[in-house]
C-alpha cells in the first residue's frame, strides 16, 4: 500500500489521536495539581490567605515528610482502613440483598421504598449522638456511621441495575426451566454488575469520608482524630499533612476500585471506551 492509502492514513491519524489523549491524560492532571500547590504556596505569603491558619505547601510537605517515618501515621491509617473495611462489608451485606429484592419485587419495593426514601436524606453526621449512645466512643461507631452512609448509594445502584435487566433474558431463563435463585445468579447479577461496580466505588469513597468524620467528631482512634489533635494544638502544618493523608487514602481507594472494575467488567462497552481513551 502507498503512503497515500486512505486506510493507512486513518490508522496513522487514529494512532496520533490516541497518543495525544494519553499525553493529556497524564499532563493535564499534573498541571492541575501544580496549579493548586502553587496557589497554596503563594497565597499565604502574599496575604491572600491568613498566614496564621494556612501554612504554605512546602511547610505542609515538610510536616508530611516527618510523619512518614513515624509509627503514629501507620497506626492511624490502620485504624481508619480497618473501620472502613468493616463498614464496606456491613453495607454490602445489607444493601446488595435488599437492592436485589426491591429491584426484582414490586411488592418489596412498595414495602421498603418509603422507609428508604425517608432515611436517605438524613445526614449521617446528625446520627452521631444516637450512635454514641448505642456504641459509645469505640471504633464500632465509625463502622456503623460509614456503613449507614455507604449503604444508600449501593442499594439504589443495585435496585436500578436489577430493574434494568432485559425481560427477554428473564423469560428465556424461565423457558429453560431455571428457578428463581438460578435466574438471579445466571442472569440478574451479571446484568446488573456494572451498576454494582459503580455503587461499590461510590460507596467506598462515602464510607471513608464518614469514617474519618466520625473519628474527627468523636475522637475515635484514626486519621480523623489526628487531624483534631493537631488542629487543637495549633500545629496547622501537621493538621494539613493529616488532611493530605486522608486525601491520598481516598485516591488510593478510588483507583483500586476503578482497577478492579476495569478488570472485572472488561467485557462491558464502558470499559472498552475507557481503554480507547473515551469518557
> In terms of domains, do 114 and 143 share one?
yes
Q: Residue 136 region, left (φ>0) first, then alpha (ψ -120 to 50), else beta?
A: left
Q: What is the pLDDT of residue 219?
A: 87
Q: What is the CATH number of the domain that holds 263?
A: 1.10.3720.10
Nearest to 223 by CA among 245, 203, 205, 238: 245
Nearest to 59 by CA among 252, 244, 248: 244
Q: What is the pLDDT of residue 279?
A: 45
Q: What is the pLDDT of residue 5?
A: 58
> In terms of domains, do 219 and 136 share one?
yes
> In terms of domains, do 34 and 81 share one?
no
Number of domains in the chain: 2
The pTM assigned to this predicted structure is: 0.81
Range of the domain at 121: 55-275
- Cell 498566614 found at: 51
Q: What is the pLDDT of residue 241?
A: 94
Q: What is the pLDDT of residue 1?
A: 46
Nearest to 206 by CA among 170, 269, 152, 259: 152
Residues in the chain: 279
Q: What is the pLDDT of residue 16?
A: 55
For the stretch 205-241, pLDDT in tens is: 999 999 999 999 888 899 999 999 999 888 899 999 9
> In terms of domains, do 189 and 236 share one?
yes
Q: What is the pLDDT of residue 119?
A: 80
> In terms of domains, do 29 and 132 share one?
no
Regions in the chain scoring below 50 on pLDDT: 1-2, 7, 276-279
> In terms of domains, do 19 and 119 share one?
no
Amino acid at each position: 500500500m502507498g503512503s497515500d492509502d486512505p486506510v493507512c492514513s486513518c490508522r496513522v491519524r487514529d494512532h496520533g489521536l490516541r497518543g495525544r489523549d494519553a499525553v493529556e491524560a497524564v499532563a493535564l492532571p499534573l498541571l492541575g495539581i501544580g496549579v493548586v500547590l502553587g496557589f497554596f504556596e503563594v497565597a499565604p505569603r502574599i496575604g491572600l490567605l491568613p498566614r496564621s491558619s494556612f501554612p504554605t505547601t512546602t511547610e505542609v510537605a515538610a510536616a508530611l515528610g516527618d510523619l512518614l517515618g513515624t509509627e503514629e501515621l501507620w497506626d492511624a491509617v490502620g485504624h481508619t482502613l480497618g473501620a472502613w473495611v468493616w463498614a464496606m462489608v456491613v453495607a454490602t451485606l445489607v444493601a446488595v440483598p435488599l437492592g436485589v429484592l426491591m429491584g426484582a419485587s414490586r411488592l418489596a419495593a412498595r414495602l421498603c421504598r418509603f422507609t428508604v426514601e425517608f432515611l436517605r436524606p438524613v445526614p449521617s453526621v446528625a446520627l452521631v449522638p444516637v450512635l454514641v449512645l448505642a456504641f459509645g466512643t469505640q471504633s464500632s461507631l465509625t463502622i456503623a456511621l460509614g456503613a449507614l452512609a455507604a449503604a444508600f448509594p449501593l442499594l439504589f445502584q443495585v435496585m436500578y441495575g436489577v430493574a434494568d435487566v432485559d425481560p427477554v433474558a428473564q423469560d428465556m431463563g424461565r423457558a429453560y426451566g431455571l428457578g428463581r435463585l438460578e435466574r438471579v445468579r445466571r442472569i440478574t447479577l451479571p446484568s446488573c454488575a456494572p451498576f454494582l461496580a459503580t455503587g461499590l466505588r461510590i460507596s467506598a469513597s462515602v464510607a471513608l469520608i464518614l469514617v474519618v468524620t466520625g473519628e474527627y467528631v468523636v475522637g475515635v482512634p484514626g486519621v480523623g482524630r489526628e487531624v483534631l489533635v493537631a488542629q487543637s494544638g495549633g500545629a496547622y502544618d501537621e493538621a494539613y499533612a493529616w488532611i493530605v493523608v486522608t486525601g491520598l487514602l481516598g485516591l488510593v481507594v478510588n483507583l483500586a476500585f476503578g482497577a478492579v472494575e476495569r478488570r472485572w467488567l472488561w467485557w462491558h462497552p464502558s470499559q472498552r471506551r475507557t481503554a480507547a481513551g473515551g469518557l
